[in-house]
Structure 1
Amino acid sequence: MSETTATPAGAPTGGPAAPAQWDSAPAPVPSHAWRALIVLLIGMFMALLDTTIVNVALPTIRDNVNASGTPAGEDVLSWIISGYALAFGIALIPAGRIGDRIGHKWVFFTGLALFTVASLACGLAQSDTQLIIARVVQGLAGGIFVPAVTAYIQLLFPPRSRGRAFAIMGAVIGVSSALGPILGGLIIQGFGDQNGWRLVFGVNLPIGVVALVAAIVLLPGAAASGIDRTRSSGGVDWVGLVLLTGGLVALLVPLIEGENQGWPLWTYLVLALGVLLLVLFGVWEVLYSRRGRSPLVPPKLFTHPAFTGGTILALVYFAAFTSIFFTIALFWQAGLGHTALESGLVATPFAVGSIIGSSQSNRLANRLGRTVLLIGTSLLTVGLLAVWVILLRVAPTDLSNWDLLAPLFIAGVGNGLFIAPNAQFIVATVDRAEAGAASGVISTVQRIGSAIGIAVIGSVLFSVADLGTVRSKADLATHFANGSTAALGVSVAFSVLALLLVFALPKRVSQWG
């Protein structure tokens, strides 16, 4: 899955309030900053590779994860993706705050070490329950070390050079996202279903070990990276974190388990509990802020109506685009009987389109302003709508990857145009002094959107597919086609809503300041 990078607090946005140093010659970048960036991007590469590589392994995991030989339930597949995304998102803000207080080096190291160990645990899992737990820990670990990447870029690079560093990070994000499905398919193709899905997680082990050694040697500590611990903000809002986590988990459990359990009474009660906990979270954040403390999500951010709309946009957009690969991977492999490699190749046009779109997004955002986001969401919507129509009109047995190549490429270009400038425009809706907190909230909401999107899409897919009534291979393809078509219809609805929400953002980033 892709990350977004907000414009750092204090970075130039083209407005008249830009500091004088932007007009001076760019300060030289110290060599140790580039060495540190290499280490940080190895970690970023691993976290994002793991997001996309797992999608093509889902059908294989379903059939082979339990040592007893019994297939895993459909809800397990949703938990593998949603549990990872939710844990990742919840860890982002507290990890960033802790890094500000004690230094980002050892927070990065700890998160990366835990991520590597959790990857090993995923590969060794003997049951679906063990795998889900390991994936949640893996997501939590990713959320711990990823904030250090952007924090170090802000600390180590002079303002005029940060854009280049963030551009390199964007390229790594694009390459890792594109490489994941293909690499996952190659591994499963080469090592078979029984061992291939385990080695998909095992890829992280050598990368993680190299990154951990390099982090010890090359990452500067708190003093060397310019962190002033005496000026760091107060402690982490643990009560807020517990309420937010409890509320989101209470919403996610019924969405994932409801269809599998037949929507008994407890699912509705837990949904109500989730809403109540989120309301209590909002009340607590207001009270905590009034005490002069630093809340997990500063309530004053939502006094800006455009920021509220932009936050909803981030949630809806990520629910739309991250869920399509869950749908396509299951349909292509479990429904149509294609290999993991063929499934990975189907997703490649989207990844290539995203790289192309990302490479042009900054230039177009400077020229077109918010229009680039409208173009991006429009292309995503058109591409997803075309895929939906193809699934609706073409018989499952007649489908080939060539049918989806053009629409997924168009959707990918739109995604690339949207992802990079998205956070910059949302951050532009708040005061400059609130930019850091706004950026953290946006990153968290993106991950929560991914988790909710997978939960909703998975529930729709398996509900409509009704796999319990399948009687033959041809019947299986038809049932999966029906479920996938319905699921993609929901993704299209999410993308249309995201398109409308773009109008909540400012027309140009330059009005921030």
Structure 2
Amino acid sequence: MRQWPALAVVLSGTLLANLDVFIVVVAMPALKQGLHLGGAAQQLVLAGYQMTYGLGLVPGGRLGDHFGTFRVFGAGMALFTAASAACGLAPFPAFLLVARLVQGLGTALMVPQVYRAAQSLFTGAARSRAFAVTGAVMGLGALCGQLLGGRLLSADPYGLGWRAVFLVNVPVGIAALAALPWAARAAAAPARARPHGRGRLDLPGAGLTALSLCLFLTPLMTAGYSGLRGGEPAAALASVLTLAAFLRYERRLELRGGNPLLPRELLRCPGFVRGLALVALTNCGLNSFVLTLGLMLQEGLGWGPMATGLGILPTAGAFATASLLAPVLRVARSRLLMGAAAISAAGYLGCAATAAAGRTAWLLVALGAAGAGLGLAVAPALAFTLRTVPDGISGAASGVVSTVQQLAAAVGVCLFGTFFFALVHAGAGIPAAFAIVTVANVTTAALSGVLAATVPPDRVPAHGDEPGRAAGGIPGTGRARP
């Protein structure tokens, strides 16, 4: 049972990672006024954090395989905490921008360790519950970002203004670092919690994947806030070519007996690639929906920061609750995922209809439905994706899953965010633009439902062993013991 408190310590990284995205969205008007940020600087404050976060996830996961979950998590948390203090004390815009980039790097080290801990410390039903708790903490982070950001800006403690939204991370980070040595000792007993080898790190592979992701993410991160500007096709082509070079290098390195950043064994794990597609569709819809919802409540309905946070409460609360509920439902995984897609699609349509009609009370009900559908999808999708990944490459798998989540969020914000701003600039009111974009967002739920229909009909892991476990299989491999 000591594994659960150990997981709770690393889950603080997931909480802070999600909180820091949404709390800055709420605080942006205060940041604009307090530091006199121009349009480009505002984009970089939002996108720079997500950029370095996305770039470092795969190397961050692989570092966990080499040096251990808790050691790498501690380095990431220390970096994130120091950068948060620097953000809160920033005297001018450039200082804030650099500190936000460092914050993203710290997050990239932390987040893959959360999935790695859930994968390596638990098996069977307990692992499914660990993924469910992880999904609930993701929703809690989004909720805290909105509510806490609104509360801090309204209360203005000690006259800190916008600085409080960054400084609030510091005590949480210090507490997590203080508890980390105990958590590492508590989790040290199972052999699977230890690092799986310290071969030479794949630095060329890390450089190639970072370059490919940078070329892909840069136009997406800025397009969501400033619109498409014409350079995206060239950047996308360069990203694909760099990715091809990365995959070729990784294959040759593995054939030479090296330790690649992306082991080919990972892509051959049954269901891994299909699970990544499910994770991508869920995150594409979730992130774009929450961000356009925040814009609609603040700018369309004229709600203040605190009221906006309360308005998003049904979505984040239902998301967290449904994430915890998913593992205890006695429903086949494929049916659960299809049901989750149907509920989230109905929620999206309800949000669109009630926002366009100006029915605030019914909008809140629809927001709860959308959050519940998305929450029901998270834990089963993660469990399906990682269920056959061997423990020795669980860090690499965690980095890939986290990167796909971040890329999907960027694509969603770009596609649906640009569509939203184009409608507003064309003369549509913000509530009407939100309604149209939310209807378009139904496509992500529909596609995830279609994909879920192809998931093998094994039961949710909370009520049945994962493949390879019932007959004394090797954890995480799907293979029987010799």
Query: Hey, what does 1:388 align to over in structure 2?
Result: 352
Query: Partner residue of 1:458?
Result: 417
1:376 to partner: Cα distance: 0.8
SS of alignment partner, residue 144 of structure 1: helix
2: distance between equivalents of 1:294 and 1:360?
Answer: 39
Task: State the shift of 1:263 in Å.
Answer: 5.0
Given the superposition, is the C-alpha separation of residues 493 and 429 from structure 1 closer, same or farther in structure 2, using an over 3 Å criterion?
farther
Q: Which amino acid aligns with 1:426?
A: T
1:212 pairs with 2:177: yes
| TM score, norm. by length of structure 2 | 0.82
The equivalent residue for 2:335 is 371
Alignment partner of 1:442 is 2:442: no
Residue 15 of structure 2 aligns with which residue? 45
Does residue 505 in structure 1 map to residue 455 in structure 2?
yes
1:86 is displaced (CA, Å) by 4.3
Cα separation, 2, equivalents of 1:46 and 1:455: 23
- Structure 1, gaps ≥5 residues long: 1-28, 470-474
Instruction: Indicate how the Cα distance of structure 1 residues 161 and 390 shifts in structure 2: closer, same or farther if over 3 A, else same.
Output: closer
1:352 maps to what in 2? Answer: 317
How many angstroms apart in 2 are the aligned matches of 1:165 and 1:427?
Answer: 12
Once the two structures are TM-superposed, the CA of residue 446 in structure 1 deviates from its matched residue by: 1.4
2:445 to 495, 498, 505: 495
CA RMSD of aligned residues (A): 3.5
> Helix, strand or coil for the counterpart of 1:219?
helix
Paired AA for residue 19 in structure 2: L
Supply the distance in 2 between the matched residues of 1:114 and 1:429 (Cα, whole angstroms): 32
How far apart are residue 316 of structure 1 and its match?
2.4
Q: Aligned to 2:77, which of 112, 115, 133?
A: 112
In the alignment, is residue 290 of structure 1 matched against residue 260 of structure 2?
no
Q: CA deviation at 1:349?
A: 0.5
Q: Deviations over 1:399-423 (max 9, x none)?
A: 3642421111111111121111111
Question: Is contact 2:341-2:373 (8 Å) kept?
Answer: yes
Please list the CA deviations of residues 296-352 of structure 1 after superposition, one character each: whole Å capped at 9, or x if unmatched. Answer: 223344456853333223222211111111111122213432101111111110112
Q: 1:56 aligns with which of 26, 32, 41?
A: 26
- Give the aligned partner of residue 462 of structure 2: none
Distance in 1 between residues matched to 2:440 and 2:446, nearest whole Å: 10
2: distance between equivalents of 1:173 and 1:418? 13
Partner of 1:10: none
> How far 1:213 sits from its partner (Å)?
2.4
Deviations 1:196-255 (A, max 9, x none): 432112210111122222324553399767479895163332222222222222122223
Give the whole-Å Cα distance in 2 for the aligned partners of 1:147 and 1:260: 27
Q: 2:335 and 2:247 mapped to 1: Cα distance?
A: 33
After TM superposition, list the pairs within 5 Å mapping 1:50-129 onto structure 2.
50-61=20-31, 63-64=32-33, 67=35, 69=36, 72-73=38-39, 79-125=44-90
1:226-265 correspondence runs (5 A): 226=191, 231-232=196-197, 234-257=199-222, 263-264=228-229
CA contact (8 A) 1:429 1:505 kept: no
1:488 counterpart SS class: helix
Q: Give the TM-score normalised by the residue count of structure 1.
A: 0.78
| Alpha-carbon distance in structure 1 between the residues aligned to 2:113 and 2:429 | 45
Paired residues of 2:65 and 2:197 also in contact (CA < 8 A): yes
What are the equivalent positions in structure 2 for 1:404-423 lying under 5 Å apart? Answer: 404-423=363-382
Please state how far the C-alpha of 1:377 moved relative to its aligned partner. 1.4
Counterpart-to-counterpart distance in 2, 1:47 and 1:286: 32
Distance 1:362 1:458 in 2: 33
Q: CA deviation at 1:426?
A: 2.4
Count residues in correspondence: 462
In the alignment, which residue of structure 2 is the partner of 1:481? 431
The one-letter code sitting in structure 1 at the alignment partner of 2:447 is L
Relative distance call for 1:401 and 1:54 in structure 2 (3 A) is farther
Offset of residue 179 of structure 1: 3.1
Q: Which ranges in structure 2 are unaligned for 5 or more consecutive residues?
A: 460-465, 469-477
Aligned-pair CA distance for 1:463: 2.9
Change (3 A) 1:457 1:120: farther
Q: CA separation of 1:280/1:483 partners in 2, compared to 1, >3 Å: closer, same or farther?
A: farther
Write the letter of the residue equivalent to 1:46. L
How many Å apart are 1:158 and its aligned residue?
8.0
CA distance in 2, matches of 1:299, 1:102: 21
